[in-house]
Structure 1
Amino acid sequence: MCQDNQTKVTEVYLLGLQGLENFKTLFFSVLLLIYMAIVIGNILIILLVSTNSNLKIPMFIFLQHLALADVLLATFVIPLMAEVILKTKKKMSVDDCIIQLYSFLNVGFVQCFFLAIMSYDRYVAISNPLHYNLIMDRRICFLLGFGSWALTWTLASTEIIFIAQFEFCGLRDIDYFFCDVSPIVKLSTSDTSIVQWFDLMCSSFFFFCTLTFIIGTYIYIFIIIFKISSSAGRKKSFSTCSAHLISVAAYYGSIITIYVTPADEKSPSVNKYSSLLYTVVNPLVNPIIYSLRNHEIRQALHKIVEEFLRRKVI
């Protein structure tokens, strides 16, 4: 219950970055261009995997899931972020803020699972190539994909149920681009200890457990690669993992920068700029990384361009 001298808050204001009055049009335009590039790049990967028979293998099926998560993450965050910058601050209801947080948690957490699954896929492909198709069959791929989304949805729903019980009294400014867990917890006047504990458990499970699994998997992969006698064989084996490794480094590097660095060592502005890494930069660079590092995707893109040009000439 709110105290007598406090008013129950039903609307909040996202403040974004203050002091950008002279550059807000430029920031707004850049963000929209980036959003368009993210949507086009990731949807192109989804369509390539869906329509090209050469790409219907587990690695690219999981990449398709990752591309979908990137599109959704960008859609849930970037348009609102651009509006906050353009308007200096954005008013939204508490319910809408919680809905955005719920959407963000779902797609943010599920990326950890798919990055971990993709590392296991690379381990099977390199350590047991003769039985790869038997181990990573369609049923396993479906179960891993569906199970990742289902588990993420379940845990995110549980956390949101707790957050939906919060009361907000008096303060209504969120000094952030979007509705994240930490700003909402700071704004609430309720006892937030359960949510903070649950969020810590979820973060440890999603981020640190999956990162530990990925590191362990790649230790085994590198051991196998170093045992290959020919340098050409080692180079070919490593090239199959390079795009995934770069993606893992970019994703977990940004997460560690934001959530592991002690709060007293960061200013709010630094924290907000850091959030741009995984909400804007990662979804933008993932299609570029996989397009440049995967011969199969480059080949599929080349065929599409050739077909388009041929039809246009005719």
Structure 2
Amino acid sequence: MKGLWNATAVTEFILLGFPSNQRFQNFLFLIFLISYLLTVTGNLVIITVIRVDLHLHRPMYFFLSNFSFMQICYVTVTVPKLLIGFLVRINRISISACFSQCYFFFFLGGIENFLLAIMAYDRYVAICHPLRYNAIMTPKLCWSLTCGCWLGIFLGSLLPVIFLARLSFCGPNIINHYFCDVSPLLKLSCSDTSLLKSNFFSLMWVIVFSCLLFTLVSYINIICAIMKIPSTVGRQKVFSTCGSHLTVVIIYFGAVIFMYVRPKDSYAFEEDKLISVFYSILTPLLNPFIYCLRNKEVKDAVQKIIQARKFIPGLSTQYK
């Protein structure tokens, strides 16, 4: 009976968020709202441009549109609940909603790792095997990679969260975070979490470092191929095709590794929240600007669409 009572003792959690005075809360609400709207809008622009411009119907941009869709979902998992927290005195979340948020955050984070690795492979084939690019990166392979990525992580993320949901929560129900992350949930549980903690973070490290290693190997080969190009202009032109993706890779993996590889006894949840803001909110905000400003083809496609909108009666003709 005790175990049953423990399992049902806590029916909801309270997300502590960023406690401060009301004026600063209002300021943070405005900042995060603007960031969220810019992130969603920027990624929708990228998806729309890729869909409209036939010149961008290539594997590189097919993966980029998937990446942008994932980013929209990623910020939508956490930011709306964070915004609510700035408007209410106590930001409550039910246990089922908490576990769902935790699942989708972990699931979409895994998708991000694999999509970055797939995009690195695409750049590797394009630069190191240009003559065989169309034969290798066929539509069938592109769909297989993306569908396998989404489906595989969707199913693979279920098991850890199922075990997490079976834990007992019978004590404090205040989560010192702005969303339901695994670490604070494990800390609140009155069950033995040592095995789950070990398995969960081992799985996470396998995902992160395997994707990072695959990405690094791809870029090492890319850099070696670029260095063999005799002209400086030629090297710059080839490198520009992967510059945007490389920038995103450095920002994302740098933040994630700093978040999860530090010794566990050397930091507090306050630091976790700040770092989480960087890789779960700031990085998705920067990505559309990085791909639009550093990618000439996307930038040109956006300019073509903007110019075409000035001639509404002959939109299709002007666009062509």
Indicate whether the TM-score tops 0.5.
yes
Residue in 2 that maps onto 1:153 = 154
Contact residue 167 and residue 190 of structure 1 kept, 8 A:
yes
Query: d(CA) in 2 for partners of 1:195 and 1:90?
Result: 27
**Deviates most, 258-267 or 150-159:** 258-267
Structure 1 vs Structure 2 CA RMSD: 1.9
Residue in 1 that maps onto 2:239 = 238
TM-score normalised by the chain length of structure 1: 0.95
Query: d(CA) in 2 for partners of 1:297 and 1:251?
Result: 21
Query: What is the letter of the counterpart of residue 46 of structure 2?
Result: I
Query: What is the letter of the counterpart of residue 102 of structure 1?
Result: Y
Equivalent residues in 2 for 1:222-237, closer than 5 Å? 222-237=223-238
- Give CA deviations for 1:208-258 in whole Å, capped at 9, x if unaligned: 111111111111111111111111111111111110110001111111221
Deviation at 1:264, TM superposition (A): 2.8
Structure 1 position 13 matched with structure 2 position 1: no
- Give CA deviations for 1:28-78 in whole Å, capped at 9, x if unaligned: 111111111111100111111122211111111111111011000111111
Contact residue 225 and residue 237 of structure 1 kept, 8 A:
yes
Query: d(CA) in 1 for partners of 2:292 and 2:314?
Result: 26
Query: d(CA) in 2 for partners of 1:53 and 1:298?
Result: 14
Residue in 1 that maps onto 2:255 = 254
Query: d(CA) in 2 for partners of 1:310 and 1:263?
Result: 59
Query: d(CA) in 1 for partners of 2:44 and 2:302?
Result: 13
Q: 1:132 to 1:193 in 2, by over 3 A?
A: same
Q: Secondary structure at the match of 1:23?
A: helix
Residue in 2 that maps onto 1:215 = 216
Query: What is the letter of the counterpart of residue 89 of structure 1?
Result: I
Deviation at 1:311, TM superposition (A): 2.4
Query: What is the letter of the counterpart of residue 268 of structure 1?
Result: F
Residue in 1 that maps onto 2:175 = 174
Q: Secondary structure at the match of 1:68?
A: helix
Q: Note the residue ranges of structure 1 that are not aligned, 5 or more in a row.
A: none
Query: d(CA) in 2 for partners of 1:113 and 1:180?
Result: 20
The share of aligned pairs that are identical, in percent, is: 37
Q: Secondary structure at the match of 1:91?
A: strand
Residue in 2 that maps onto 1:292 = 293
Q: Secondary structure at the match of 2:132?
A: helix
Query: d(CA) in 2 for partners of 1:89 and 1:250?
Result: 33
Residue in 1 that maps onto 2:95 = 94
Query: d(CA) in 1 for partners of 2:50 and 2:179?
Result: 32
Equivalent residues in 2 for 1:30-49, closer than 5 Å? 30-49=31-50
Deviation at 1:167, TM superposition (A): 1.2
Contact residue 115 and residue 149 of structure 2 kept, 8 A:
yes
Query: d(CA) in 2 for partners of 1:85 and 1:206?
Result: 33
Query: d(CA) in 2 for partners of 1:191 and 1:5?
Result: 16
Query: d(CA) in 1 for partners of 2:167 and 2:5?
Result: 18
Query: d(CA) in 2 for partners of 1:261 and 1:193?
Result: 18
Residue in 2 that maps onto 1:206 = 207
**Count of matched residue pairs:** 314
Structure 1 position 127 matched with structure 2 position 125: no
Query: d(CA) in 1 for partners of 2:307 and 2:219?
Result: 37
Q: 1:299 to 1:228 in 2, by over 3 A?
A: same
Residue in 2 that maps onto 1:73 = 74
Q: Secondary structure at the match of 1:299?
A: helix
Query: d(CA) in 1 for partners of 2:260 and 2:310?
Result: 47
Query: d(CA) in 2 for partners of 1:61 and 1:113?
Result: 14
Deviation at 1:87, TM superposition (A): 2.5
- Give CA deviations for 1:103-148 in whole Å, capped at 9, x if unaligned: 1111111000010011111110011111101100100000000000
Equivalent residues in 2 for 1:96-111, closer than 5 Å? 96-111=97-112
Contact residue 18 and residue 88 of structure 1 kept, 8 A:
no
Query: d(CA) in 2 for partners of 1:273 and 1:74?
Result: 15
Q: Note the residue ranges of structure 2 that are not aligned, 5 or more in a row.
A: 316-320
Contact residue 125 and residue 133 of structure 2 kept, 8 A:
yes
Deviation at 1:4, TM superposition (A): 11
Q: Secondary structure at the match of 2:9?
A: coil
Q: Secondary structure at the match of 2:92?
A: strand
Contact residue 155 and residue 202 of structure 1 kept, 8 A:
no
Q: Secondary structure at the match of 2:93?
A: strand
Query: What is the letter of the counterpart of residue 156 of structure 1?
Result: S
TM-score normalised by the chain length of structure 2: 0.93
Contact residue 122 and residue 137 of structure 2 kept, 8 A:
yes
Query: What is the letter of the counterpart of residue 238 of structure 1?
Result: F
